[in-house]
Amino acid sequence: MSIEVKNVSKSFGAYRALKNVSLTVQGGELLALLGPSGSGKTTLLRIIAGLDHPDEGQVLIDGEDLSKQALRDRRVGFVFQHYSLFRNMSVFDNVAFGLRVRPRKQRPGDGEIKRRVDELLGLVQLDQLAARYPAQLSGGQRQRVALARALAIEPKVLLLDEPFGALDARVRKDLRRWMRKLHEEINVTSVFVTHDQEEALELADRIAIMNAAQIEQVASPSEAYDRPATEFVSEFLGFANRMPCKVVEGVAQIGDFVLAVDLGAYTGDAVAYIRPYEIALKKLNGEDATARATVDSIVALGPNARVDLDYGGHRLEALIDREELAALGLAAGDICAIGFSRAHIFKTA
């Protein structure tokens, strides 16, 4: 079932949390709301959930405006950042809660509830822990209980607020992979909030990148990475070297380089973003090389090496294969030739 956010604005006092935000989530999709803290992503999620009300605009779930409906009829599954498990209930009772609070007519019988809860606990691999209390579980286990509890009401959409935020790195990685598999299995339209770009890139079908109460770009992970729509996106997604440049009628001059850019007939100042692996290093042979940079330092990072360069006063980071580096025989203090295989260029406003 699809989610449609239409021109939603929200303020808390003088603080504008969302400015005219629109977003469409397709049925069965797993979408990430990615952004730095304070960008409005949790507010947007809470508005989709119906926990907060927008000042303007509306949210349609499966084409229906749910703001008039009681929360119990909306069937929106929500996994809270700190899980918010019911501490006075066992794992089983936590998961069963959503079924037990249904009006008498829609409530399944005890046997049916038990069957459904056991099935869900099996799905999140916690069947052994049904009798435990939340305080007796690890962070990862609590997270999965929260997920099972949200799924128990057979939600039309599943919303997750920083689902892995409170976990340590190792567990986070495992859970991420597990969650992707689970999504493929149950295929519920899902939106999750995260500030961790790696998480968004790995898990999501599409990413909505938020900044300062607005959505900057909605795209698939690879598209957002390869073709950032705005300066913010290119800076936020992965690291990119920033270099001021000049554009004259669609041609950018970045240091010694000239690149054709898609800015129409724009002429004026611009800024170029170059990813570390988009910088090629070459041995200086003869004097024909147009662009020269000094190697400041070299740091080994697993199979790669980060080479810090001084290029006409600009600090650049390049990332190259360590074997390749060895073949070049570069060391700190050397001068080498550099080339940009690609750059993203934005007008400076």
**Binding positions for another protein, rule: CB under 8 A:** 49, 51, 71-73, 75-78, 80, 82, 84-88, 97-98, 101-102, 133-136, 149-150, 152-153
Using the minimum distance from each CB to another protein, give the nearer residue, 136 or 187: 136
- 64-65/56-61 β-pairing: antiparallel
Using the minimum distance from each CB to another protein, give the nearer residue, 78 or 311: 78
Angle subtended by helix axes 110-123 and 169-186, to nearest 10 = 120
H or E stretch covering 47:
helix 41-49
DSSP letter string, 144-197: HHHHHHHHTT--SEEEEESTTTTS-HHHHHHHHHHHHHHHHHH--EEEEEES-H
Using the minimum distance from each CB to another protein, give the nearer residue, 113 or 293: 113
CB-CB contact of 276 with 317 (8 Å): yes
Using the minimum distance from each CB to another protein, give the nearer residue, 87 or 170: 87
302 burial type by CB count under 10 A (0-12 exposed, 13-18 middle, 19+ buried): exposed
Q: How far is the CB of 124 from another protein (least distance, A)?
A: 16
Using the minimum distance from each CB to another protein, give the nearer residue, 190 or 241: 190
Q: How far is the CB of 86 from another protein (least distance, A)?
A: 6
Q: How far is the CB of 153 from another protein (least distance, A)?
A: 6
Q: How far is the CB of 252 from another protein (least distance, A)?
A: 50
CA dihedral 220, 4, 236, 238 (to 10 degrees): -20
Strands of 249-291 (E only): list them: 251-254, 257-260, 268-274, 279-282
Q: How far is the CB of 9 from another protein (least distance, A)?
A: 22
Copy the structure tokens of residue 214.
């607005």
Chain Cα centroid distance, residue 111? 40
Using the minimum distance from each CB to another protein, give the nearer residue, 78 or 192: 78
Q: How far is the CB of 169 from another protein (least distance, A)?
A: 24
